[in-house]
């Protein structure tokens, strides 16, 4: 049976139309794997995210959430727990096909959970 690694899952997710960035973090905010273009606009959002990720993760844990979303002018950020120890962050174009992206994020989340469990 073929088993995907979380690296392959991120590669597949990153190829989805409308997704600009995929980042897998440890629950403490340390990045494990990153897929991103060299676009300066999205890099500014990533810099904001890097400064805020620990606070965001603390609030997700405190409130008992499994996911949250942030909206910027040109990007949306989806943050979802993938396991007890990992968090998936996906930055997308706000005009992207949200249902397709939600399905792809759910699929990636499930596979990542199996990879790290």
Q: Which residue has the higher pLDDT, 26 or 117?
A: 26
Domain spanning 6-116, CATH class: alpha beta
Rounded-to-integer distance, Cα 35 and Cα 115, Å: 18
Q: What angle do CA 105, 14, 10 make, to 5 degrees?
A: 70
- As a whole number, mean pLDDT of residues 53-82 equals 92
Rounded-to-integer distance, Cα 22 and Cα 61, Å: 21
Mean pLDDT value across the chain: 89
Domain boundaries, the chain: 6-116
Give the model's pLDDT for residue 1: 36
- Report helix angle 98-116 to 6-14, nearest 10: 170
Q: What angle do CA 77, 83, 97 make, to 5 degrees?
A: 35
**pLDDT over 90 at 3, yes or no:** no
Q: pLDDT exceeding 90 applies to what percent of the chain?
A: 65
């Amino acid at each position: 049976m073929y088993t995907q690694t979380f690296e392959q899952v991120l590669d597949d997710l990153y190829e989805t139309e409308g997704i600009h960035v995929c980042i897998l973090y440890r629950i403490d905010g340390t990045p494990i794997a990153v897929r991103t273009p060299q676009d300066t606009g999205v890099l500014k959002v990533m810099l904001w995210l890097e400064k805020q990720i620990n606070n965001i993760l603390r609030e997700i844990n405190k409130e008992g959430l499994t996911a949250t979303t942030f909206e910027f002018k040109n990007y949306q950020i989806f943050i979802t727990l993938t396991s007890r120890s990992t968090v998936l962050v996906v930055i997308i174009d706000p005009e992207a096909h949200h249902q397709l992206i939600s399905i792809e994020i759910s699929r990636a989340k499930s596979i990542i959970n199996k990879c790290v469990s």
